[in-house]
Amino acid sequence: MKNRARKETSELSRRDFIKTSAALGAAAWATGTSRMYAAGSDKIRVGLIGCGGRGTHDTGNCLNAAENVELVAMGDLFKDRLDSSRARLSKSAAGKVKVTDETCFVGWDAHKKVLALPNVDLVVLTTAPHFRPIHFKAAVEAGKHVFMEKPVAVDPVGVRSVIESSALAETKNLTILAGTQMRRIAHLMAGIERIHNGDIGEIVGGQCVRIGDGMTTWGPRERQAGWTDMEWQLRRWLFMTWLSGDFITEMHVHNLDIIDWAMGSHPVQCMGMGGRQVRTGAEFGDAYDHFTVEYEYPNGVRVEYMGAQIDRVSDRCDQWIVGTKGRAYLDFANAIIEGDKPFKYDGQAWNPEIRQHADQIAAIREGKKLNEGKRVAESTLTCIMGRMSAYTGRAMKWDWAMNASKLDLRPPKYEFGDLPMPPVAMPGQTQLI
Amino acid sequence: MKTKASRETPNLSRRDFVRASAALGAAAWASGASRIYAAGSDKIRIGVIGCGGRGTYDTTNCLNAAQNVELVAMGDLFGDRLDRCRKQLTKELGQKVKVTDETCFTGWDAHKKVLACELDLVILTEPPQFRPSHLRAAIEAGKHVFAEKPVAVDPVGVRSVIETSALADQKNLTIVAGTQSRRLAHLIEGMKRIHNGDIGQIVGGQCVRIGGGMLTWSEETKVRQPAWSDMEWQLRRWLFLTWLSGDFITEMHIHNLDKMNWAMDAHPVQCVGLGGRQVRTGPEYGDVYDHFAVEYEYPNGVRVEYMGAQMDKVTDRQDGRVVGTKGRAYTDSGNFVIEGDKPFKYDGPSPSPVIKQHADQIAAIRNGERLNEGKRVAESTLTCIMGRMSAYTGRAMKWDWAMNASKLDLSPAKYEFGDLPPRPVAMPGQTPLI
């Protein structure tokens, strides 16, 4: 499947290009792109910002998604992470990794140095989500196309910034792609298309459940003697709400994004609960290990989310959309509709993680509009508002979270040094900001 | 409203009795009641076992629900609780309280002594842990029973209650459960419409009760007194000990989950729960959680989500909703509203259900009618218990397993004042499913 996706794009020949550009029509070209690419052949030069596991994975996929894509620069806060990523990519995408010591940057301003390179066309943003709004803004201002991993913020201030930067990208004809890869899974595309066509009637409810895997073996468990508070928290970023947004945001955005997609809308309000029952050690920062959120979508349609990262429990990862004429079951491998118009996807599958990069590279080369910034920002806020409600015990409206919340989890300074661990949230005590 | 309900039954005159008994037909009488009551006049003698706040409240309502009802015996584990209850009942109900020092019993066998007295009906209002054994003893002793909810804290107790309820049927004894919402006029009317198909086929629902951390409950026992053994300390803080209360999902939110079972006209077939103890973490709060969320699946794959929390200073919620293919029904503390093809809003009278439940039982006793809510309340109790068990262990579970196979039995090794180490707070993924 992976091969098929690769072929699709790499076989976009010059003749295909002429057809495609004709189909696009004059209007698309009149607006112009910041840089003109010849079809399927012009080199796309990629910079990677955030050289962790995900950054390495995404960059490998990006380099392999089309011909003539090269990695020319890398940036990370930590040299050890950058070095290991560079070594791995040099193997998995041999010949496509053109970085030199001079185009590898570490430290707090590594992203600026990558973005300052004029030959970088596209950046892959895979730092901890906390940094996404800042790096995204800098990338768009620098005129780069952006692939950014989900989630794209950890607080409403960040979400607003991402939406602004996405609008700016639009004016600069830059493509913005989000790592919410489920949007490109064949079976979900087919199933949700049927939901939108009314195959289950009017939607009246739904459930989104993802339970299992405590992630307790993730990352460095022991704090090393030389690490400051800041370094310790950064290296354990997954479990620091200010860095990851907590798991409801960091990981379960995949699931809640499916719900937003199926509903064709973001929620209008929510009420959440949660806690930290099992994963309570200091090495797990201030993140919760379970959440439940009742999301209310337009027309009073309620979707309940249950999420947990706890080991040795009954594993679940599924979505239900309930309609007046049937219901749809959606998970990462299946799309099944029961009811008046039954359906079971048994068509082709392809690798969405390759496809997302192939789509973006094709869009760049063809000068097509492709901007998922606002959409992924909304899915991110869907998660964030659920977390905020659970942390504080307060119901909240989307409009308030989007427009009025002042929650900003940025630390006073970005520098290695003292940084007390924020207290674990206590519903009824933690302030709603 | 209270006065209305209390008038209803006393007015049941001898003539009404003749009509009522004619309506019941020969069959009802052929089976016979354990004792035949003349209509509306024969004395009903009651005993109360469990003289806490709820016992005092229920006994008051029972004595006020009809004429010629008298309290003749009382029992509690603790003398101070019994004395306080007796004093308050005597003050408020005067002549209806006929207990003497000789019919007031304390200690572990107080319930046996109450049941040995000449009485017709017992009110069981001890902590839920004791309900199965006291209910069994009461039915075996041939007494009618008013049993507060919940009626058990574990599946072993639920099974016992169901067996005892069957025995009560054989002995023509009435059992009324304190799931008072079943007698709320707006719910009765609304549920009828749901069952009539006014919202179409049911496809989902929500049950939410959030708020009220109960932190000020029993302030006098918050600090453990030096003389109290482990057992006494836990009994006096019973609300927060799972082995005694079943945790709040069972102890209090059974009201809400019972409504869902009622609306669905079924118990769930399976569930998966989450929960924890995030805010109410002091030792005075025992081992209970402060929040739960359970996805209940009813027949035909219909899912109902429950969210419950006992926390202070959060957004208060208490509402239930049932979603159908042609509309949806919403209820909170005082409303019942249907939106959709057949809109409805209840605006009739709302007599007090806490009086009515006793009036209904007294009338049934006097009329020799069958009235046995034991199995139903046992099923609502298990609905809550299985949600708690799933949240505590992190394991999804089926009703049939919980009902038939679970061996969970929270009773202590011995019922005696002495050492009783606090049980560990449940940890999903670590606490075994039993």
Say which residues have a Cβ less than 8 Å from residue A370's Cβ, sequence separation at least 6.
A175, A176, A177, A359, A360, A363
The closest alpha carbon to A149, from A170, A166, A127, belongs to A127
Is residue A228 one of the residues assigned to a domain? yes
Q: By CA distance, what is A270's nearest residue in B?
A: B315
Q: Work out the minimum CA distance from A189 to partner chain B, whole angstroms.
A: 24
Say which amino acid occupies B260. Answer: M
Which residue is it, tokens 């659970």?
A390
Give the three-state DSSP class for A268.
coil
Q: Work out the minimum CA distance from A311 to partner chain B, whole angstroms.
A: 6
Q: In the prediction, which pLDDT does A328 show? A: 98
Q: In the prediction, which pLDDT does B297 show? A: 98
Yes or no, beta carbons of B208 and A304 under 8 Å apart: no
Largest CA distance in chain A: 64
Interface test with B, best of A304, A329, A385, A424 (most B CBs within 10 A): A304
Assign residue A269 the CATH number of its domain: 3.30.360.10
Q: How far, in Å, CA of B434 to CA of B422, rounded?
A: 19
Q: In the prediction, which pLDDT does A355 show? A: 94
Yes or no, beta carbons of B272 and A306 under 8 Å apart: yes
Yes or no, beta carbons of A427 and B429 under 8 Å apart: no
A2, pLDDT greater than 60: no
Same domain, yes or no: A365 and A384: no
Q: By the 8 A CB rule, do A125 and A139 touch?
A: yes
Q: By CA distance, what is A432's nearest residue in B?
A: B314
Same domain, yes or no: A205 and A165: no
Assign residue A157 the CATH number of its domain: 3.40.50.720
Per residue in A366-399, pLDDT (tens digit) is 999 999 999 999 999 999 999 999 999 999 999 9
Give the three-state DSSP class for A403.
helix
Say yes or no: domain B197-349+380-404 is CATH 3.30.300.20.
Answer: no
Q: In the prediction, which pLDDT does B334 show? A: 83
Determine the length of chain A: 433
Same domain, yes or no: A81 and A195: no
Q: In the prediction, which pLDDT does B233 show? A: 96
What's the total number of domains in chain A?
A: 2
Which H or E run includes B317? strand B317-324
The closest alpha carbon to B361, from B51, B15, B31, B124, belongs to B124
Q: By the 8 A CB rule, do A94 and A116 touch?
A: no
Q: In the prediction, which pLDDT does A360 show? A: 97
Yes or no, beta carbons of A275 and B276 under 8 Å apart: yes
Q: How far is CA A320 from CA A303, A305, A326, B207, in A?
A: 9, 10, 11, 18
Same domain, yes or no: A57 and A19: yes
Say which amino acid occupies A123. Answer: V
Q: By the 8 A CB rule, do A123 and A115 touch?
A: yes
Q: By the 8 A CB rule, do B242 and B248 touch?
A: no
DSSP per-residue string spanning B52-65: SHHHHHHHHHHHHS
Is residue A412 exposed (0-12), middle (13-18) or buried (19+ Cβ within 10 Å)? exposed
Same domain, yes or no: A273 and A259: yes
* DSSP percent split of chain B into helix, strand, coil, nearest 5: 45, 20, 35
Strands B44-49 and B121-124: parallel
Q: Which domain holds residue A257?
A: 186-349+379-404
Is residue A225 exposed (0-12), middle (13-18) or buried (19+ Cβ within 10 Å)? exposed
Same domain, yes or no: A161 and A277: no
Q: How far, in Å, CA of B433 to CA of B406, rounded?
A: 8
- Domain locations along chain B: 2-181+355-372, 197-349+380-404
Per residue in A85-105, pLDDT (tens digit) is 999 999 999 899 999 999 999
Q: In the prediction, which pLDDT does B252 show? A: 97
Which residues from chain B sit within 8 angstroms of residue A320, using beta carbons?
303
Rg for chain A (alpha carbons), in Å?
22
DSSP-assigned letter for residue A96: T
Same domain, yes or no: A117 and A193: no
Q: In the prediction, which pLDDT does B429 show? A: 97
Prior bond of A342 cis (ω within 30°): no
Is residue A108 one of the residues assigned to a domain? yes
DSSP-assigned letter for residue B216: T
The closest alpha carbon to A176, from A197, A162, A191, belongs to A162
Per residue in A314-345, pLDDT (tens digit) is 999 999 999 999 999 999 999 999 999 999 99
CA A330 to chain centre: 19
Token digits for B62?
A: 């029972």
Q: By the 8 A CB rule, do A294 and A301 touch?
A: no
Token digits for A208?
A: 């989104």
Say which amino acid occupies B162. Answer: I
Same domain, yes or no: A36 and A98: yes
Q: How far, in Å, CA of A34 to CA of A216, rounded?
A: 45
Per residue in A264-320, pLDDT (tens digit) is 999 999 999 999 999 999 999 999 999 999 999 999 999 999 999 999 999 999 999
A130, pLDDT greater than 80: yes
Token digits for B317?
A: 């919620």
Q: In the prediction, which pLDDT does B30 show? A: 36
Q: How far, in Å, CA of B186 to CA of B331, rounded?
A: 9
Interface test with A, best of B199, B253, B278 (most A CBs within 10 A): B278
Q: In the prediction, which pLDDT does B284 show? A: 95
Divide the 434 residues of chain B into consecutive groups of 10 and give the mean pLDDT of each group: 34 35 37 47 92 97 96 98 97 95 98 97 98 98 98 98 98 96 95 98 98 94 95 97 98 97 98 98 97 98 98 97 98 92 94 94 96 98 98 98 98 96 96 97
The closest alpha carbon to B155, from B408, B413, B433, belongs to B408
Token digits for B229?
A: 């053994």
Query: Which superfamily does B2-181+355-372 belong to?
Result: NAD(P)-binding Rossmann-like Domain (3.40.50.720)
Is residue A423 one of the residues assigned to a domain? no
Same domain, yes or no: A76 and A173: yes
Yes or no, beta carbons of B428 and A394 under 8 Å apart: no
Q: Does B213 touch chain A (CB under 8 A)?
A: yes
Q: In the prediction, which pLDDT does B37 show? A: 53
Give the three-state DSSP class for A263.
helix
Per residue in A219-248, pLDDT (tens digit) is 998 999 999 999 999 999 999 999 999 999
Same domain, yes or no: A360 and A389: no
Task: Give the Cβ contact number of residue B210 at 10 Å.
Answer: 22
Token digits for A16?
A: 């295909």
DSSP-assigned letter for residue A10: H
Prior bond of B150 cis (ω within 30°): yes
A18, pLDDT greater than 70: no
Same domain, yes or no: A303 and A248: yes
Same domain, yes or no: A163 and A203: no
Give the global pTM: 0.90
Instruction: Over range A172-197, report the average pLDDT.
Output: 96
Fold equal for B2-181+355-372 and B197-349+380-404: no
Token digits for B23?
A: 């309506």
The closest alpha carbon to B364, from B201, B85, B144, B123, belongs to B144
Is residue B334 exposed (0-12), middle (13-18) or buried (19+ Cβ within 10 Å)? exposed
Q: In the prediction, which pLDDT does A17 show? A: 34
Residues of A contacting chain B (CB within 8 angstroms): 201, 204-205, 207, 209, 211, 214, 271, 273-278, 289-290, 292, 294, 300, 302, 304, 306, 308, 310-314, 316, 320, 322, 324-325, 327, 392-395, 426-429
Q: How far, in Å, CA of A408 to CA of A157, rounded?
A: 6
Is residue A374 one of the residues assigned to a domain? no
Is residue A66 one of the residues assigned to a domain? yes
Which residues from chain B sit within 8 angstroms of residue A427, using beta carbons?
278-279, 291, 309, 311, 314
A21, pLDDT greater than 70: no
